[in-house]
A and B are shown apart, each in its own frame.
Chain A
């Protein structure tokens, strides 16, 4: 039982970080109808931003996370205005292809720039807090506990923002019908910028939270990006709540699957296979995902 508990708690922690990454991707997809293939690179950039805020500016790790989110929000806003925005004009004829190319381009550019600027070797920022929490059979490093708590705070904040604020309602309105939103006075272009900025900030926040747990490297965003795509399909394409549930579920399934695989020597190699298996089974049973779009809204 204690082994199960240990695996479940670790799965939950990682699942919350997955959820944070996927929630940002979902927000961008819902509002802009753009699949951001650069989301993993933004996650990586958030990790490094936090690292340099902590090590170069000698700030506490929590300030590193907050600073990384602000930096990534600004980066997202500028990128959306300069690179994504032309898509909404008549200058771009094949809009879907344009979005795919520029977001893929973002990944290639940032990953290679990362190699040049940050170097190929792994970097680790100082931990949020040293030590380990021991609660009976449960052993959890404080780093993971703090990352999980911060992820919960950010996810609850995001949900409340979408549900309770005028800006959140405006984002939800644009995600449902940009034409209807425009005729009631909402500027869809402004909402695209806000959504891309927020999505980038969430990716950056996830990267900053994971940085003390796993080492930073320029390609660290590749896998979380793939997982985020699995999660948004799991959650039901476009529901932030669905991606939170999907992220947690994926973390739990991966952790428990690896922990209970009979061959411990090969167990870790199968981590991603459990995610793929979960996706296949879910789509077989519920083709619209856990929370299909017909049932849920943006939040």
Chain B
């Protein structure tokens, strides 16, 4: 792969469900270490996009290139092994495992992994997320915000090169929201490439430099957060009103 080639790129991505075009002609690239917000009104195709670029959904058309390899037809576990990790809108934890076990399973999914180092790393991640006091609690007993943090931790256990966070701020207590935002900033400073999907524009602006906006399955804007959020087409897509 040439040195200046994008780390991750999507070209002409499309997905339809029956007659509904959930995503059409979507293209974008991500550079290593970038943090990007993906926003748009409900039904704009954000989650479908995340599902496609992590292998949960197969696109009808288009290419998804991760470090030079087209993975559009690959299953989800191969994305994870390539360092593409994700979280879900509603956390999907292993509810009948403890917090610590939830973090250890990803580390042990590598056939060469050993139990001791996996536990050590899991405890490090728990410390980073300030969840260490809950290590032995069952995941199902955590609050919604704690579950989001744990799911972020589970993604971090993969040592991801690209993190896709689907609505990490939704339904979270304001105090925990700032904590999650701070974790995301720290991860980005540490070199993680991050795509953040959320409706909380204030929180998104506090974290990202670049914003992509989707509406009706298409990308309608892409650029610096402050400029994009003033774009009349973006405001219209969000509020349904015309801006003069």
Contact = CB atoms under 8 A, between A and B. Distances in A.
A183 B80 contact: yes
A177 interface: yes
Given A170-B109, A184-B154, A297 B55 contact: no
Given A182-B77, A184-B154, A185-B77, A297 B108 contact: no
Contacts of B55: 182
B211 to A, nearest CB: 25
Interface in B76-96: 76-77, 79-81, 85-86, 92-96
A128 to B, nearest CB: 36
B101 interface: yes
Interface string B48-71: 000000111000000000000000
Contacts of A169: 101, 104-105, 108
B158 A185 contact: yes
A183 B109 contact: no
B77 A188 contact: yes
B105 to A, nearest CB: 5
A179 interface: yes
A34 B151 CA distance: 28
Contacts of A296: 96
Interface in B111-160: 111, 113, 115, 154-155, 157-158
B97 interface: yes
A198 to B, nearest CB: 17
B41 interface: no
B154 A179 contact: no
A177 B92 contact: yes
Contacts of A172: 94, 97, 105
A166 interface: yes
B56 A182 contact: yes
A96 interface: no
A180 interface: yes
A188 B80 CA distance: 13
Interface in A138-197: 166, 169-170, 172-173, 176-177, 179-189
Most buried by A among B80, B93, B104, B110: B80
Given A169-B104, A169-B105, A185-B110, A297 B56 contact: no
Contact of A183 (B54, B95, B108, B110): B54
A159 to B, nearest CB: 15
Nearest to A239: B96
A182 B85 CA distance: 10
A166 B107 CA distance: 9
B223 interface: no
B56 A187 contact: no
A240 to B, nearest CB: 13
B75 interface: yes
A162 to B, nearest CB: 12
A81 B154 CA distance: 30
A129 B204 CA distance: 72
Most buried by B among A180, A181, A296: A180
A297 B158 CA distance: 24
Closest 9 CB pairs of A and B: A182-B76, A184-B106, A185-B80, A166-B108, A297-B96, A180-B92, A185-B109, A176-B94, A187-B77
5 contacts: A172-B94, A173-B94, A180-B92, A183-B54, A185-B80
